[in-house]
């Protein structure tokens, strides 16, 4: 979809989108269209008792005398509540309402009802952003031969706004972030017969064209580095494990370094502690943490952020096999700490243990944030709405939650405590990879903390939010690209001058 901004005169042909406030009051442009159509707009509003509630829509086709004009009325709800995030959702509603209509282009008249909180260029850019985010579907495997064509959105969406240049500038920056979100969504959606660790590494290499330095470690190099924990997870797979290091140096040499670390299990069968068959197909998105990191690097580099950001992803496939690790195995991590593998399905933490240790050791970052579809337990705690956040640093946790709030990604802080840390002690090794049944997301986080070497660190368990089973305001069901926007925002708010 092509998005444009212009300060043109009100067109009276084509597909026109008019915003209607929560009180049903028409804007000046809507009134003038009503007049030009001899009251067709107000008649339709009365006939349908259209109130202008948020997302409510009503189409007036070919009013008499203006047969070449179609009007889509879109409710914004209360103008007082119309902040940037609400406006993004309205933009998504516009996109959806235009899906499947015969027109391939439409003009949105950016004029909110009186007293609206967001208006002008800011409103236009937010509407466009919402439409852009909603314009994603994973359909590369839908063939003409096998599936009915799905209704698609408009090819072109024009926004008519006073201050078009400012709107364009602001939207262009957003578009770079949305590219990162979509890149993450593509990676997360890819089926695992294609999505191997090496395939993922190849996707990372694509970031080179944005100016990101990309390095790939194979199994031999990781073995040399002593990454016995990560490698044990991949040893049952015929596909070689990989670690990818991405570096974006957009800031001054002396500027702080943010590092983002991701769990990239390209398929999680559970290994020898094999998962039940029902729902196992969900495990194609067990690389969602890596997806977040790669998508965030894409966004940050794409908008040329003046910050230094490192992304590290551990890519493995967890398979049962004659060569797979067994429950009861004891592995030695890069940190030197030994781990008794009680359950081979608690593999994400084994991957992150070495990825975290490697990151802090090599880069001495000012902050480390890891992302992982780590536990089913976080879904029991927070449902499919909130990501769980753990941190050894209160200020860092606050900044991350704040960045999430700013972009509309819900993040909830969870506790760490020595009492949970003790629960992963074992007499046979320095630690075991699972704790008791209760508090499973917390003991997983405690496990990771043992590999942070006291660097300011946060861990986000995104098992509940990396994928949505239902349509959300800004997306269809499927991969969310969760936390790409939050991380871009986090960097913008705290690490750019
Ligand atoms: N990848 C899973 C967690 C998961 C489950 C993510 C459902 C998304 C949806 C993870 O590797 C796992 O299997 N965790 C186990 C840990 C347990 C064995 C301690 C879990 O949560 O059951
Ligand atoms: Mn698992
Ligand atoms: Zn997993």
19 closest CA partner among 79, 85, 98, 103: 79
Tokens of 397: 């946790």
Residues 301, 350: Cα–Cα separation, whole Å: 29
DSSP-assigned letters across all residues of 172-206: HHHHHHHHHHHHHHHHHHS-TTT--HHHHHHHHHG
Average pLDDT, the chain: 96
Check if 349 is active-site.
Answer: yes
Give the position, in ligand 1's atom list, of the atom nearest the Cα of 348: 11
* % of the chain beyond a pLDDT of 90: 92
**Ligand 1 and 302: CB distance under 6 A:** no
3 state DSSP class of 369: strand
User: Residue 287: its pLDDT value, please?
Assistant: 99
Question: Which residue in this structure is represented by tokens 């009492």?
Answer: 419
Residues 187, 441: Cα–Cα separation, whole Å: 25
Q: By mean pLDDT, which of 109-113, 179-183, 188-192, 340-344 is the weakest?
A: 109-113
Cβ pair 317, 234 in contact under 8 A: yes
- Distances from the Cα of 224 to the Cα of 90, 219, 297, 312, angstroms: 53, 9, 27, 18
- For residue 438, the 8-state DSSP code is T
Q: Which residue has the higher pLDDT, 25 or 441?
A: 441
Check if 43 is active-site.
Answer: no
Pairing of strands 308-318, 257-268: parallel
- How many other C-beta atoms lie within 10 A of the C-beta of residue 245? 20
72 closest CA partner among 113, 105, 119: 105
Q: Decide if pLDDT at 148 tops 80.
A: no
Radius of gyration, CA atoms only, the chain:
25
What is the per-residue pLDDT across 339-385, written as a single tens digit (0 to 9) for each?
A: 999 999 999 999 999 999 999 999 999 999 999 999 999 999 999 99
- For residue 457, the 8-state DSSP code is E
User: Residue 22: its pLDDT value, please?
Assistant: 86
| Helical segments of 75-119, H only | 84-97
- Distances from the Cα of 455 to the Cα of 251, 369, 394, 396, 420, angstroms: 21, 10, 13, 11, 20
User: Residue 113: its pLDDT value, please?
Assistant: 78
User: Residue 114: its pLDDT value, please?
Assistant: 78
**Ligand 1 and 377: CB distance under 6 A:** yes
What is the per-residue pLDDT across 67-84, written as a single tens digit (0 to 9) for each?
A: 999 999 999 999 999 999
Q: For residue 200, how far is its CA from the centre of ligand 3 (angstroms)?
A: 16
What is the per-residue pLDDT across 425-440, written as a single tens digit (0 to 9) for each?
A: 999 999 999 999 999 9
Looking at the domain covering 2-160, what would its CATH class be? alpha beta
Residues 367, 255: Cα–Cα separation, whole Å: 12
Taking residues 179-195, report their average pLDDT. Answer: 98
Pairing of strands 105-109, 156-160: parallel
Residue 293 burial (10 A CB sphere; 0-12, 13-18, 19+) = buried
| CATH 3.40.630.10 domain span(s) along the chain | 177-494
**Ligand 1 and 230: CB distance under 6 A:** no
* Burial per residue of 222-234, b for 16 or more beta-carbon CB atoms within 10 angstroms, e otherwise: beebbbbbbbbbb
- For residue 334, the 8-state DSSP code is T
Q: Decide if pLDDT at 102 tops 90.
A: no
| Helical segments of 225-287, H only | 228-234
**Ligand 1 and 346: CB distance under 6 A:** yes
Give the position, in ligand 1's atom list, of the atom nearest the Cα of 268: 1
Q: Decide if pLDDT at 209 tops 80.
A: yes
3 state DSSP class of 313: strand
Q: Decide if pLDDT at 147 tops 90.
A: no
Q: Decide if pLDDT at 338 tops 90.
A: yes
Give the position, in ligand 1's atom list, of the atom nearest the Cα of 285: 8
Give the active site residue among 198, 205, 275, 384: 275
Distance linking the first and last C-alpha atoms of the chain: 33
- Distances from the Cα of 3 to the Cα of 153, 312, 358, angstroms: 12, 33, 42
User: Residue 153: its pLDDT value, please?
Assistant: 85
**Ligand 1 and 461: CB distance under 6 A:** no
Helix H or strand E segment including 31: helix 28-36
User: Residue 8: its pLDDT value, please?
Assistant: 86
Cβ pair 463, 379 in contact under 8 A: yes
Name the CATH code of domain 177-494 (choices 3.90.105.10, 3.40.50.740, 3.40.50.2020, 3.40.630.10): 3.40.630.10
Taking residues 145-164, report their average pLDDT. Answer: 87
Q: By mean pLDDT, which of 113-117, 190-194, 282-286 is the weakest?
A: 113-117
| CATH 3.40.220.10 domain span(s) along the chain | 2-160
| Helical segments of 254-324, H only | 288-302
Angle, vertex CA 298, rays to CA 294 and CA 304, nearest 5: 145
3 state DSSP class of 33: helix
What is the per-residue pLDDT across 239-294, written as a single tens digit (0 to 9) for each?
A: 999 999 999 999 999 999 999 999 999 999 999 999 999 999 999 999 999 999 99
User: Residue 12: its pLDDT value, please?
Assistant: 83
Q: Which residue has the higher pLDDT, 427 or 10?
A: 427
């Amino acid at each position: 979809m092509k998005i444009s901004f212009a300060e043109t005169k009100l067109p009276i042909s084509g597909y026109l989108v008019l915003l209607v406030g929560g009180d049903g009051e028409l804007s000046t442009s809507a009134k003038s269209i009503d007049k030009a159509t001899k009251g067709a707009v107000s008649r339709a509003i009365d006939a349908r008792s259209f109130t202008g509630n948020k997302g409510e829509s009503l189409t007036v086709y070919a009013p008499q005398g203006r047969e070449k004009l179609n009007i889509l009325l879109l409710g914004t709800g209360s103008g007082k509540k119309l902040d940037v995030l609400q406006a993004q959702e309205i933009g998504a509603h516009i996109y959806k309402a235009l899906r499947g209509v015969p027109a391939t282009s439409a003009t949105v008249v950016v004029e909110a009802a009186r007293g609206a909180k967001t208006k002008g260029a800011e409103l236009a850019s937010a509407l466009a952003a919402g439409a852009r985010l909603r314009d994603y579907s994973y359909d590369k495997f839908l063939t003409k031969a096998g599936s009915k064509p799905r209704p698609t959105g408009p090819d072109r969406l024009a926004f008519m706004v006073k201050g078009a240049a400012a709107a364009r500038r602001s939207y262009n920056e957003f578009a770079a972030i949305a590219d990162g979100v979509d890149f993450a969504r593509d990676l997360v959606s890819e089926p695992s017969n294609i999505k191997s660790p090496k395939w993922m590494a190849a996707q990372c290499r694509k970031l080179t064209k944005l100016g990101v330095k990309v390095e790939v470690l194979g199994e031999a190099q990781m073995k040399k580095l002593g990454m016995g924990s990560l490698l044990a997870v991949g040893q049952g797979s015929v596909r070689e494990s990989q670690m990818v290091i991405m570096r974006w140096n957009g800031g001054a040499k002396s500027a702080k370094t943010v590092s983002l670390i991701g769990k990239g299990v390209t398929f999680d069968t559970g290994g020898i502690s094999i998962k039940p068959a029902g729902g196992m197909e969900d495990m194609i998105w067990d690389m969602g943490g890596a997806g977040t990191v790669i998508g965030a690097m894409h966004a940050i580099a794409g908008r040329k952020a003046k910050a230094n950001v490192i992304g590290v992803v551990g890519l493995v496939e967890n398979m049962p096999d004659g060569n797979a690790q067994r429950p009861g195995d004891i592995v030695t991590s890069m940190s030197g700490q030994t781990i008794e593998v009680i359950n081979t399905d608690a593999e994400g933490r084994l991957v992150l243990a070495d990825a975290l240790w490697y990151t802090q050791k090599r880069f001495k970052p000012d902050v480390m944030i890891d992302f992982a579809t780590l536990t089913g337990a976080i879904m029991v705690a927070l449902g499919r709405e909130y990501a769980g956040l753990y941190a050894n640093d209160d200020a860092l946790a606050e900044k991350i939650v704040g960045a999430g709030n700013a972009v509309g990604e819900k993040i909830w802080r969870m506790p760490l405590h020595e009492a949970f840390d003790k629960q992963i002690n074992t007499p046979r090794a320095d630690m075991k990879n699972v704790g008791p049944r209760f508090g499973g997301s917390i003991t997983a986080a405690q496990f990771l903390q043992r590999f942070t070497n006291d660097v300011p660190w946060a861990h986000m368990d995104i098992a509940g939010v990396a994928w949505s089973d239902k349509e959300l305001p800004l997306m269809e069901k499927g991969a969310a690209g969760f936390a790409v926007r939050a991380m871009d925002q986090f960097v913008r708010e705290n690490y750019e001058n």
